[in-house]
Amino acid sequence: MVGKLGWRWVLGLLAALLVFSLVAQSQAVNPNERTVKPEPNVQDPDDIKSPNSKVWVLDFKFKDPRLIKVDIPGRGQKVCWYLWYQVINNTPQPHTFIPDFELVTHDRNTVHHDQILPKVQDAIRQVEDPSDYLKIKNSVTMTATPIPPSRKDADPRAVTGVAIWDDVDPDANYYSIFVSGLSNGWALADDPEKPGAKSIVRRKTLQLNFKRRGDRFLQKSEEIQFVPPAQWIYRGSALSVPGLTPTPKKDR
């Protein structure tokens, strides 16, 4: 027979195993999701931390970019990049998110804009959301309905989307993804290369940096790694990334 202390030990072990199992399941479901909270910037025209601020900023959750091979009508078989993300509105009012995703390669000097590719989106849905529970949106359908506010005493009302690129240079290894539309913050700035010219409108933009280790012939999602921290910047054009950008190369 198991004594009183023995039963306590068994129950404690079972409880520990249960906690370990739940943690493992959570990690298996969300292995690399990252949440970016709104942060102030010196160029903000208003204090975003103030409840009376006229500048709003949405929360952004994302997974590291992934690769998927799809036969695209009219283009043939392509290795596409995609960024799975969720937008959460922790402000008091609903806000329309008009996404603008731009992927910049720092070692190949190329700029790539998010594309609407229905067949690729369907292939991504089968991987990321086979039951279609999340109703993954693209950059056009995302704008159809404002992002509703999330209640502080309830689970976040996340809206899920995906950004897709089918033309990323396979020789590139250093990237930034710039996400605009998450805020109504903007500022005017003079172009230092054109004194006296019209001021540039810069939007509050989220900058996410990544690197990839591998060659062009065997590209894997696991080789793409986030380079922290995420940054809130004001951006009007492509920017370099100090400490990440190698010597630029010209396209062959």
The backbone torsions φ and ψ at residue 150, rounded to the nearest 5 degrees and listed phi first, read: -95, 135
**3-state SS assignment for residue 110:** strand
Please name each of the domains of the chain with its CATH number. 31-235 (2.60.40)
Q: What are the 10-residue block averages of pLDDT along the chain, 252 residues in total?
A: 54 48 41 90 91 94 96 91 98 96 95 96 97 97 97 90 94 96 87 69 95 80 93 76 47 38
Q: 130: Cβ–Cβ under 8 A, 6 or more apart, which residues?
A: none
The backbone torsions φ and ψ at residue 28, rounded to the nearest 5 degrees and listed phi first, read: -70, -35
Strands of the chain, DSSP E: 34-36, 59-62, 66-72, 76-88, 100-105, 110-113, 159-165, 174-180, 186-189, 200-212, 224-235
User: DSSP secondary structure string, 109-159?
Assistant: TEEEE----HHHHHHHHHHH-TT--S--B-TTGGGGSPBPBPPTTS----E
User: Radius of gyration over alpha carbons of the chain, in Å?
Assistant: 22
CB atoms inside a 10 Å sphere around CB 144: 8
> How high is the pLDDT of residue 9?
52
> How high is the pLDDT of residue 189?
74
> How high is the pLDDT of residue 14?
52
CB 135 within 8 A of CB 144: no
User: What are the tokens at 37?
Assistant: 């909270």
CB 236 within 8 A of CB 200: yes
Bridge-based pairing of strands 59-62 and 34-36 is antiparallel
Cα separations in angstroms, 244 against 161, 208, 232: 27, 12, 17
Q: Give the span between the Cα atoms of 84 and 174, in whole angstroms.
A: 19
Query: Taking the model in full, what pTM does it have?
Result: 0.80
> How high is the pLDDT of residue 212?
92
Dihedral, CA atoms, 85, 59, 114, 187, nearest 10 degrees?
A: -170
